[in-house]
A and B are shown apart, each in its own frame.
Chain A
Amino acid sequence: MESDVLLVVVIVTAIAFDFTNGFHDTANVVAASISTRALPPRLAVALASLLNFAGAFISLKVAATVGSGFVDTGQVTMMVVFAGLIGAIAWNLATWYLGLPSSSSHALIGGLVGSMLVASGPDAVDWEGLLGKLIVPALIAPVLAFAAAAAAITIAYRILGRLRPGPVARSFRHGQLISGSLLALSHGTNDAQKTMGVMTLALVAHGSISATNFHVPTWVVVTAASAIALGTFSGGWRIIKTMGSRIIKMDPAQGFAAQSAGATVILAASAAGYPLSTTHVISGGIMGAGAAKRLSAVRWGIAGNIAVAWVLTLPAAAAVGALAYAVARVFGTGPLGPLLVSLVLLAALLVVFARRLRATRSPSAPVASTS
């Protein structure tokens, strides 16, 4: 009975994480379409939400990697999964508050590794898997998106440079409907699967699924797809602003190049089973599209802040995950500890939202800097 209650707490926390993932990453998907006026903001977010939902059903390879590629599934407990999710949610909210586009995926894996370290020690973490399936692809992906977007925009400018800019811009705005849709679909494919993997990991720890027969149940796929779509629909407007206009001022051709590069890199990585950070990839694409036109077009200071948030994500989420595990474990192995930790996080969440609301309503109040 106690383990059933704990499973429900973990699943609800996973759904909450998936929601924050969609909420936090909406910017990655729609910023280029909004800033070039290819789509009005509400429509862009609604379309992204729908395509995120659809994308979650395309493949399950990333879910398998997250569920069994980084930690010893035999040693995972529901408390470990819960604490890992808390680490990821806390980091997502902190970076949302500061308007920084950091990686939800790395926050999730960082949180999981941190709680696993405290629970079972370093031997329970698959360090080779972490390096080969997460860290190395994480380093390559944004560089790849940067190079692909830079090449794409160079080709476009070479071919179209002498044409009247008006019709060219209009055509690329239409093209962004396709590239933006593909990006949203690829985001749903890669990101929703991470939560599916973690939920399945909790089911393995509960004993509902055998560790030797790791598979993702259909209800997990539908739940994760719905949560990420709902989160996307709710939208993180602060990060949309940073991604859409503060890194570079984009023209529609650059938006098209950045989105195409982002979508192809994420889809290729999903097919290979790599849980990539969609944030890293699309930021790399946006910077590549800007730098190819003019190096000084990229606001490297903002790009540097984003890079710092990336570097901090894994250790910071791991630290919160480890702390959440240690605190929850004080109250035993039952659901009491996780419930109390959830309440503390909920209270912190309300304070953050109240402060944000006050800062938005009062023009004289200081607003947290996004730079």
Chain B
Amino acid sequence: MSAEIVEAGRLLEVVGFGLGATIGVALLFSLAVLGTVRALDRQRAGAATLAYGTLAAVCFAGCLAAAGYGLVLLSSK
């Protein structure tokens, strides 16, 4: 199968972006959930929540930023 027919470089870009972005978003969102749940648990127990709250906020913002960046990238093509 000729590389010219298949455009291997472009396909590899799709594979890399698809895998990388999904794993990145899943990681960030899972950390955001971890931060949220732990912060709520600690709040109930009367302990400090700043660290977990910050983790949740930063990771959630990262998720939104990744989604926004993807859309901007797509519309600029």
Interface residues contributed by chain A, number (CB under 8 Å)? 47
**In the complex the two chains form, is B6's CB within 8 Å of A131's CB?**
yes
For chain A, residues 127 to 172, give those with C-beta under 8 angstroms from any C-beta of chain B.
Answer: 128, 131-133, 136-137, 140, 144-145, 147-149, 151-153, 155-156, 159-160, 163-164, 167-168, 171-172
State which of B11, B23, B27, B38 has its C-beta within 8 Å of the C-beta of A136. Answer: B11
Return B15 CB to nearest CB of chain A, in Å.
6
Q: Which of B6, B10, B22, B27 contacts A272 (CB 8 A)?
A: B10
CB pair B34–A178 under 8 Å, yes or no, is no
Are B27 and A269 in contact, with the CB atoms below 8 A? no
A348 to chain B: closest CB distance in Å? 38
Given contacts A151-B19, A159-B34, contact A132 B14 (CB under 8 A): no
- Considering the chains assembled together, what is the distance between the CA atoms of A131 and B3 in angstroms? 12
In the complex, what residues of B have CB within 8 A of residue A137's CB?
Answer: 11, 14
Question: B11 and A264: CB pair below 8 A?
Answer: no
A173 to chain B, nearest CB (A): 11
Q: Which of A145, A148, A257, A264 is the one whose CB lies under 8 Å from B70?
A: A264
Q: B residues within 8 A CB of A58?
A: 71, 74-75
Report yes or no: B26 in contact with A145, Cβ–Cβ below 8 A.
no
* CB nearest to A163 among chain B residues: B37
Contact residue among A136, A175, A261, A265 (Cβ-Cβ distance under 8 Å from B29) = A175
Bound form: Cα–Cα A58–B38 in Å: 38
Distance from A359 Cβ to chain B, minimum over Cβ atoms (Å): 39
Per the bound structure, the CA–CA distance linking A151 and B25 in Å amounts to 11
Per-position 1/0 for A240-283, Cβ under 8 A of B: 00000000000000001100110011011111101000000000
B64 CB-CB contact with A under 8 Å: yes
Are A153 and B74 touching (Cβ within 8 A)?
no
**Known contacts A167-B36, A269-B14, A272-B13; is-contact A147 B75 (Cβ 8 Å):** no
User: Is A185 an interface position by the 8 A CB rule?
Assistant: yes
Question: Does A265 contact B14, Cβ atoms closer than 8 Å?
Answer: yes
**Cβ-neighbour of A178 out of B11, B31, B64, B77 (below 8 A):** B64
Residue contact B6 to A136, C-beta cutoff 8 Å:
yes
> Are B37 and A167 in contact, with the CB atoms below 8 A?
yes
A182 interface contact, C-beta 8 A: yes
A267 to B77, CA, bound (A): 11
The answer to whether B31 touches A159, judged by C-beta atoms less than 8 angstroms apart, is yes
Query: Does B57 count as interface, using CB distance less than 8 angstroms?
Result: no
Q: Which residues of chain A are near B73, meaning CB under 8 Å?
A: 271
Task: Select which of B6, B18, B33 is within 8 A of A145 by beta carbon.
Answer: B18
Cβ B18 vs Cβ A171 within 8 A: no
B residues 34-53 in Cβ contact with A at 8 Å: 34, 36-38, 40
Q: How far apart are the CA atoms of A153 and B25 in the complex, in Å? A: 11
The smallest C-beta distance from A138 to any residue of chain B, in angstroms, reads 12
Q: Is the CB of A159 within 8 A of B67?
A: no
- Using Cβ atoms and an 8 Å threshold, which residues of chain B touch A267? 70-71, 74
Q: Are B77 and A268 in contact (CB under 8 A)?
A: no
For residue A345, give the distance in angstroms from its CB to the closest CB of chain B: 35
Residues of B near A61 (CB, < 8 A) are 77
Residues of chain A touching chain B, judged by Cβ–Cβ distance below 8 Å, are 58-59, 61, 128, 131-133, 136-137, 140, 144-145, 147-149, 151-153, 155-156, 159-160, 163-164, 167-168, 171-172, 175, 178-179, 182, 185, 189, 256-257, 260-261, 264-265, 267-272, 274
Residues on B facing A (Cβ under 8 Å): 1, 4-7, 10-11, 13-15, 17-19, 21-23, 25-27, 29-34, 36-38, 40, 63-64, 67, 70-71, 73-75, 77
The 5 A-B pairs with the shortest beta carbon distances in the complex, nearest first, are A152-B26, A148-B22, A268-B17, A265-B18, A132-B5
Pick 7 A–B contacts, CB within 8 A, sort by A: A58-B71, A58-B75, A131-B1, A144-B15, A152-B25, A182-B67, A264-B17
